[in-house]
A = this chain, B = another copy of it.
Amino acid sequence: MYAVEVRDHVMIAHSFRGDLFGPAQKLHGATFVIDVAFFREDLSPDGVVVDIGRAHEALKATLAPLNYQNLDELPQFSGLNTTTEFLCKHVFDAMADAARTGRLGPGGEGIVRIKVTISESHVARAWYESAL
Q: Is the CB of A83 within 8 A of B124?
A: no
Taking a contact as CB atoms under 8 Å apart, the answer to whether B23 and A68 are in contact is yes
Chain B's closest residue to A51 (CB) is: B20
For chain A, the count of residues having a C-beta within 8 Å of the partner chain is: 64
Contact B20 A46 (CB under 8 A): yes
Measured between alpha carbons, how far is A107 from B31 in the docked complex, in Å? 24
Interface residues of A in 22-74 (CB under 8 A from B): 22-24, 26-33, 43, 46-49, 51-53, 56, 67-70
Q: Give every chain B residue within 8 A of A14 (Cβ-Cβ).
A: 13, 29
| Chain B residues within 8 Å of A53, by CB | 22
A3 proximal to B (CB < 8 A): yes
In Å, the complex CA distance between A23 and B67 comes to 9
A residues at B contact (CB < 8 Å): 1-9, 11-14, 16, 18, 20-24, 26-33, 43, 46-49, 51-53, 56, 67-70, 80-86, 88-89, 105-107, 120-130
18 A-B pairs whose Cβ atoms sit less than 8 Å apart in the complex: A2-B126, A3-B85, A3-B129, A4-B125, A6-B123, A11-B121, A13-B29, A16-B47, A20-B105, A21-B51, A26-B70, A28-B70, A29-B31, A33-B121, A43-B85, A43-B89, A46-B81, A48-B86
